[in-house]
Amino acid sequence: DAGVIQSPRHEVTEMGQEVTLRCKPISGHNSLFWYRQTMMRGLELLIYFNNNVPIDDSGMPEDRFSAKMPNASFSTLKIQPSEPRDSAVYFCASSLSVVGTDTQYFGPGTRLTVL
Amino acid sequence: AQKITQTQPGMFVQEKEAVTLDCTYDTSDPSYGLFWYKQPSSGEMIFLIYQGSYDQQNATEGRYSLNFQKARKSANLVISASQLGDSAMYFCAISPERSQGNLIFGKGTKLSVKP
């Protein structure tokens, strides 16, 4: 069975450029989560969707970040304009539902470096 | 609010021996899930094991087992017969059932398996 798929796996860009990260959740999963991992702050939840609808985006650091889920099999996280402090590993995860006891399965992550 | 504490930043274990990774948690919710994830140096987050707060028995998955002591609010991960491939970061996480996917992670424990 295919797990969560993320692309690209690595992204190097220059400050000010737009960055788009992509995620395909596990088929049949109704909830999708975007996380960011840094050494300083650990794993942070940025936003999550249920049935393609954004439920909570309180973790999104600022207006430069936006996320969409146009259908059940695709989501994007966009940073525009990017800044060096956005450098991190971005994970997408999916689960059957948003019930807290449902297991979240993570993608391989996208390592973003903003120069 | 939920909190996870992992007090061991780093652990060493000899190959083929068992090791226990500590995790204590704090929550006021009566129903919650506890999760362990493994993050090898390649970066992906791999789900290992789940324990529900109302589960009567400790969870087991192959060489992984969870020593769940609800009264002490601890959920230690036990890895039996350690292998070199077990060397990785291990994260404990909690999510109340009603939290709608708000998975709170600890800071992790780095396990190194020695040959």
**DSSP 8-class letter at B94:** E
Does residue A51 come out as left (phi exceeding 0), alpha (psi in the -120 to 50 range) or beta? Answer: left
The pLDDT-based confidence of A67 (bands split at 50, 70, 90) is very high
Residues on chain A bordering chain B, Cβ-to-Cβ distance under 8 angstroms: 31, 33, 42-43, 45, 48, 50, 55-56, 89, 91, 93, 95, 98-109, 111
The rounded distance, in Å, linking the Cα atoms of A114 and A10 is 11
Backbone angles phi, psi at A15, to 5 degrees: -50, 135
Percent of chain A at pLDDT above 90?
90
Q: What is the mean pLDDT of residues A9-26?
A: 97
Residue of higher predicted confidence among B88 and B102: B88
- Which pLDDT does position B96 carry in this prediction? 85
Say if strands A53-56 and A42-50 run parallel, antiparallel, or are unpaired.
antiparallel
The rounded distance, in Å, linking the Cα atoms of A1 and B72 is 38
The rounded distance, in Å, linking the Cα atoms of B115 and B110 is 16
The pLDDT-based confidence of A1 (bands split at 50, 70, 90) is low
pLDDT over 80 (residue B99): no
